[in-house]
Copies of this chain bind each other. A is one copy, B any other.
């Protein structure tokens, strides 16, 4: 079996990356998970005009910001630039159009690279139909359902961060680390794995190999070690930033529920035995209230079944959910890669999805990725919203400006059409049926008129309307 090039340093590993090269950079996005040595080596070498394909390029100090800082990036292909409330050098340059941006839904990104690595030219996906993502793309109907065509992606280089490598290039990952790596490994002309350990011949159980060595050309041992104390601080900052997204200032309006009660209400809507995905921001708080509910949490980075936030000292830096939060495993947890994760989403095997919202229209149309004030990005929302799952929007009832988020028609770019079935806000639980909004429960102390006044579209009242229950 051919032994792969084991590089003495990351500088050696990326020595032939030239100006204008395209790179697949494996990271889901959390601050801790990057092929850091390779990125620093590229920064040191100063190569320019790079095209980089990467899910969330701007997360944390060791992200693609190390290349943005030195103006080495020409174009980014990604699903999430970063939180607008936490600007970075990279997101600033994207905003200033100094870096070209191609925004791709997360599941589509994984699938496009997988297609490239499988020798296919492209595929038809339902993700993005009716949105800006579909513009300029072929739309085609199969069995009465609309799909858009997406081209395969291949690149000159792939930079992976993995756990173990053997000299043949066989790779393992830990916990939530797999995400884009198995696809990215296949689609580069030269694949470079930055790993925590290089083990001996035959030391990896053949059943445990995730990326077979045939896809790997070079191996380099990482010298970057995460300081868990610093990581905790970063994650707190990110968490705080996410909590702030879309928070309504209800000056002069009705006082509504605090965020934790909004999340608790959503938890009561989940049914026994459901597989549930929680979007970034407020929705992640729902995980605090699912204990005892027999609900299985799905995370886009490739985890099915995760539990509570671990206590300090018990964290595993490779066990993080799609919001980058450190979580714990439960009995029955499984790990897999992003393409499998979105297969679950696109086919409705994930039965309920809780998403943040900028706007929800009475038709069920959802806008949650882009506003005129700025855009964090799409993440997995478009894929999660197209699989036929029950979409529960969790958001404050009003924008900061005081305008309602529950609207007649969307004025912001849609994430998906006709997908939202329920909306839980600080003021109410509202369902969407074929004819529009139906008020189901009121936050304590509010009247039907309070909610009607805060809602930008007709609001019918359910026959059994009552005060909000959390049982």
Give Cα distance in the complex from A186 to B184, angstroms: 22
**In the bound complex, how far is the Cα of B166 from the Cα of A349, in angstroms?**
18
User: In the complex, A201 Cα to B209 Cα: how many Å?
Assistant: 24
Tell whether, in the assembled complex, residue A206 and residue B329 are in contact, meaning their CB atoms are under 8 Å apart. yes
Task: Identify the interface centre among A272, A335, A347: most chain B CB within 10 Å of its CB.
Answer: A347
Closest to A186 in B: B343
Number of copies: 2
Q: How far is the CA of A158 from the CA of B57 in the complex (A)?
A: 39
A206 with B333: CB separation less than 8 A: yes
A213 in contact with B118 (CB, 8 Å): no
**Are A332 and B213 in contact, CB atoms less than 8 angstroms apart?**
yes
Q: Nearest Cβ distance between residue A381 and chain B, in whole angstroms?
A: 15
CB distance from A318 to the nearest CB of B (A): 11
Q: Tell yes or no: A313 within 8 A of B by CB.
A: no
Q: Assess whether A125 is interfacial by the CB under 8 Å rule.
A: yes
* Docked-complex contact B273 and A332, CB < 8 angstroms: no
A170 on interface, CB distance cutoff 8 Å: yes
Q: Which of A119, A172, A340, A349 has the most CB of B within 10 A?
A: A119
Given contacts A1-B294, A2-B296, contact A334 B209 (CB under 8 A): yes
Q: Contact: A142 with B121, CB < 8 Å? A: yes
CB distance from A348 to the nearest CB of B (A): 8
In the complex, chain B residues whose CB is within 8 Å of the CB of A119: 125-126, 343, 345-347, 386-387
* Nearest CB in chain B to that of A207: its residue: B335
User: Contact flags (1/0) for A293-321 with B, using CB distance below 8 Å?
Assistant: 01010100000110000000000000000
A453 within 8 A of B: no
Determine whether the beta carbon of A2 is less than 8 Å from that of B273: yes
User: Are B118 and A346 touching (Cβ within 8 A)?
Assistant: yes
Q: Is A330 an interface residue (CB 8 A)?
A: yes
| Interface assignment of A115: CB less than 8 Å from any CB of chain B | yes
Which residues of A from 264 to 292 have beta carbons under 8 Å from B?
A: 272-275
Q: Which residues of A contact B (CB under 8 A)?
A: 1-2, 111, 114-115, 117-126, 140, 142-143, 145, 147, 151, 166-168, 170, 172, 174-175, 186, 201-202, 206-209, 212-215, 272-275, 294, 296, 298, 304-305, 329-336, 339-340, 342-347, 349-350, 386-387
